[in-house]
A and B are shown apart, each in its own frame.
Chain A
């Protein structure tokens, strides 16, 4: 099956930068999404990478290396509202999204 490996929990300070890493199995792959999910709420779309490289969108950037089965989400100028779970979601060959439990990010003042 598809395994997604992300840290369970991370802590960072308001105003700082944090990088959330994700590795996944490489043999079935059709792009990778990052979603944000606040506690008790639905996920919201952050970014999509299908080719290698960095995609920047405001304070958030996402990087992909297909050959390494590796992605990261970089969050800059952290705000308290960034406290949430961040979900690394590969898409398989059948265009199905593969959801793990994600990384819970805690922001401290």
Chain B
């Protein structure tokens, strides 16, 4: 089955540690995205990538980093520089930038 997979669903880390969230898609989509959602809020764009080996900052990129070495994969690293990392992280992909986005199940990150 084609889809987009995020892992793990729940993740706990100690403050000051970097953590990498996985996102893999087998939909052959060119574009991939990372969003953050806080309770009662809309999604906020962290990073996006339109093509392999290229990515752009979104609205809240500070404290995060990404890579796009393969078309299928777009991992997100939450660094210790991110002041409020506890959130629901959503990865999405779309065939192109102007088509509907499909989401993974999300990773709920808690930093203690």
Q: Which residues of A contact B (CB under 8 A)?
A: 30-31, 33, 41-45, 48, 87, 91, 95-97, 99-102
Contacts and interface: CB of A to CB of B under 8 A. Distances in A.
A43 B64 CA distance: 22
Contacts of A42: 90, 103-106
A75 B85 CA distance: 36
B97 interface: yes
Interface string B71-107: 0000000000000000000100000011011111110
A91 to B, nearest CB: 7
A44 B101 CA distance: 9
B42 interface: yes
A41 B42 contact: no
A45 B98 contact: no
Contacts of B105: 41-42
Interface string B8-34: 000000000000000000000000000
B68 interface: no
Nearest to B104: A42
Interface residues of B, number: 17
B43 interface: yes
Given A42-B90, A42-B106, A97 B101 contact: yes
Contact of A87 (B40, B42, B104): B42
B45 A43 contact: no
Contacts of A44: 103
B18 to A, nearest CB: 24
Give 5 closest A-B pairs by Cβ, nearest first: A42-B103, A99-B42, A95-B97, A99-B43, A45-B100
A33 B106 CA distance: 20
Nearest to A48: B100
A43 B103 contact: yes
Contacts of B45: 96-97
B76 to A, nearest CB: 15
A95 B101 contact: no
